[in-house]
Amino acid sequence: MDIAGALNVGMISIILAFLFVNIFDTAGTLMGVAERAKLINKETGEIEGLPRALKADSMSSVIGACFGCPPVTSYVESASGVSAGARTGLSAIVVGLLFLAAIFLAPLAGMIPAYATAGALIYVAFLMMSSIQNVNWDDFTDSVPAAVTALMMPLTFSISNGIALGFITYTVLKAGTGKFSDISVAMYVLSILFVFKLILI
């Protein structure tokens, strides 16, 4: 690993791009899967055990990168497992063991064309769409950012870009309609960072 090369000034934009993609792809995935698994506290709206999930995801990404394997992170396909009843880490352990066993079948799996697995992704998309019912559609400043986020994810082929545009839209609409109390300081900061991300990266 070329640590010194990674710390080069010219690499900053690439590092930031990976950072944004990893953080917000993971956040979007965890929100969708947690909603499906009913792990969101109804009173506070927070995901139960979110810090532990983010730590596990970040450690997996770092360790996976050290071994030179593709991104080790959470995936929306987990929603299909959750809908089948998986709620604990036991299902993840079983899947991990099955992946180890499948190493020997990798050449056989490579014969399956990509479009053969598209049906599973469409099913997962339908599962994730159920969360839209929780959007406040009566408030223009809540519904438009939600719609922008949902539409821009497939149109930009990126969860993080969809979330970025949703954050920016939310902040602009809330500020434009004078609802400044609905915008947290973190939202202002993230929206500014997202603008720079979309312009510079």
Could you state, in order of their start, the residue ranges of all structural domains in the chain?
135-201
What are the tokens at 47? Answer: 């995901």
Q: What is the pTM of this model?
A: 0.57
Residue 13 has pLDDT above 70, yes or no: no
Residue 110 has pLDDT above 70, yes or no: yes
Exposure of 136 in the CB half-sphere (CA atoms within 13 A): 6
Q: Which residues pair with 47 in a beta bridge?
A: 40
| Cα–Cα distance measured from residue 194 to residue 201, given in angstroms and rounded to the nearest whole number | 10
The pLDDT assigned to 113 comes to: 78
Residue 77 has pLDDT above 80, yes or no: no
The radius of gyration of the chain's CA atoms, rounded to the nearest angstrom, is: 19
Exposure of 11 in the CB half-sphere (CA atoms within 13 A): 8
SS3 113: coil
Our CA dihedral for 53, 55, 56, 59, rounded to 10 degrees, sits at 160
Average pLDDT score over residue span 27-42: 76
The pLDDT assigned to 169 comes to: 92
Specify the higher pLDDT residue, 76 or 126.
Answer: 126
CB of 30 closer than 8 Å to CB of 39: no
